Amino acid sequence: MLPALFQQISLNFMTMFILFQLYFHYKERITSKLLRQIIIGTGFGIIQYICLRFPLTLPDSSMPIFIGSNIFILAAVYGGPVGMFIALVIGQIIMKPGRPSQVPAANDPNMIMPSGGPVEISSFQPIGGMLANPDLFIILFGIVAVLAYRFLPLKNWQVWLCLNILFQIKLYWMLGDTLTTSLIRCSVEIISGALIYYYVDYMHRAYQSKKQLEQLATKDSLTGVYNAGYYAMASERLFAEAKRGKSNLALLIMDIDHFKHINDTYGHPVGDQVLKEMAGLLKHAFPGRHEIVCRNGGEEFSVLIPHRDATEVTRTAEHFQENVRSHVFAADREDLSLRLTVSVGICFYSEDCTRHQDMYERADRALYQAKHNGRDQICYADSHLAISS
């Protein structure tokens, strides 16, 4: 039994690793919370499929052991009610009578077989099968699981353990197995389930830690937009794509006019508030998935804009500048009503740009020209470093 148990758990772990790696890889592209829950529920349903298709059998028991049979309880943690329901549906469909047996032959030394020899899975009832309506029992138990995770003042693993013990007590009551058989079933299912729970929790925490480290390394702590370090990496990557002819590329550099006066007059807390609100206006103006808003330092921001032509970029920059003029900064402070302007320099990729730094230097010169012309302007750098407004 132990070799078969080890083989089954290894198969589950390998499946979970592959599914979760795929999910984490594409998670950032999935913006819908409902779609995420559906994908998580489907993944746990696939894991439950493997658990239910390869059971272990015990002598003198009316039902085999299903490693990880209560995966749907775990699905409630990460996929919510939707994920749990999908995992339940997949499990119940698989366990309907008439499915081909995956129970090994009686001479398999790795398995403990019933005294009567090999048994078809279809001869077993689904989980809860001794009840008048096993499907209803599973659904009700799933609802209890969701409510328990939502409202009980316990850690997730404590709720999971309580629910599994409750489930095993229910099995003992309805199957009528001996105490020894029930203890074996309970031990195997809970211990194997605990390993699965720990593994899923470990992968989830590792992913969260990775995202937190990435955020610390790439995001500006004050405004939440990307920092100068990330700008350098993204600029080099997008410049290489533009040079290969895969996309257009524009660089916008923006500076808040007379920002030093704000800090000197109203203090740094007000200045920080202005920076946060300006970052929000930039993200609202350039919301595209491929558009990268960065804070280069101080009151200077930059935006890398691929896949858009010069007309679109110009129109968006002008609209952003109008939004800044009409926006009231630090409006939550009763004694303030700040109206600000910004100066903008824009450079479009051209073939005579040999390095990504060239675009920054040209956009920066255009920004300087906008300030020199009286601020609150947009200036453009052409391919010959000449400045046009």
* β partners of residue 46: none
Do 167 and 175 form a contact (C-beta atoms < 8 A)?
no
pLDDT beyond 60 at 387? no
d(Cα 53, Cα 50) in Å, to the nearest integer?
5
For range 197-221, the mean pLDDT: 89
Question: How many Å apart are CA 152 and CA 373, to the nearest integer?
Answer: 64
pLDDT digits (tens, 9 = 90+) for 239-292: 999 999 878 999 999 999 999 999 999 999 999 999 999 999 999 999 988 899
Q: Is the pLDDT of residue 232 over 90?
A: yes
Write down the pLDDT at residue 340.
Answer: 95
Helix locations, the chain, DSSP H: 2-26, 33-53, 71-94, 134-151, 156-175, 179-218, 228-243, 259-266, 268-285, 310-326, 356-372
Exposure string for 273-309, b = 16+ CB within 10 A, e = fewer:
bbbbbbbebbeebbeeeebbbbbbeebbbbbbbbbbe
Q: Is 63 helix (H, G, I), strand (E, B) or coil?
A: coil
| Average pLDDT of the segment spanning 176-194 | 81
Known active-site residue 28: no
- What pLDDT score was predicted for residue 119? 40
Q: What is the DSSP string of 286-339?
A: S--TT-EEEEEETTEEEEEEES--HHHHHHHHHHHHHHHHH--BTTTSTT--B-
Is residue 88 predicted with pLDDT exceeding 90? Answer: no
Q: With contact defined as beta carbons under 8 Å apart, do 62 and 172 qualify?
A: no
Both tokens of residue 37?
A: 């829950």
**313-331 confidence digits (pLDDT tens):** 999 999 999 999 999 998 7
Residue, of 218 and 117, whose pLDDT is higher? 218
* pTM, 2 dp: 0.62
- Give pLDDT tens digits for 362-381: 999 999 999 999 999 999 98
Q: Which of 299, 312, 318, 351 is catalytic?
A: 299
Indicate whether 118 pLDDT > 70. Answer: no
**Looking at the predicted structure, is the pLDDT value of residue 184 above 60?**
yes
Instruction: Determine the average pLDDT of the residues in 28-55.
Output: 83
Ordered by where they begin, the domains of the chain are 2-213 (no CATH), 228-388 (3.30.70.270)
What average pLDDT does range 194-222 have in this prediction?
88
Q: Which of 33-37, 119-123, 317-321 has the highest mean pLDDT?
A: 317-321
- pLDDT for residue 105: 43
Over residues 195-203, the mean pLDDT reads 86
Higher pLDDT, 50 or 104: 50
Residue 59 pLDDT = 61
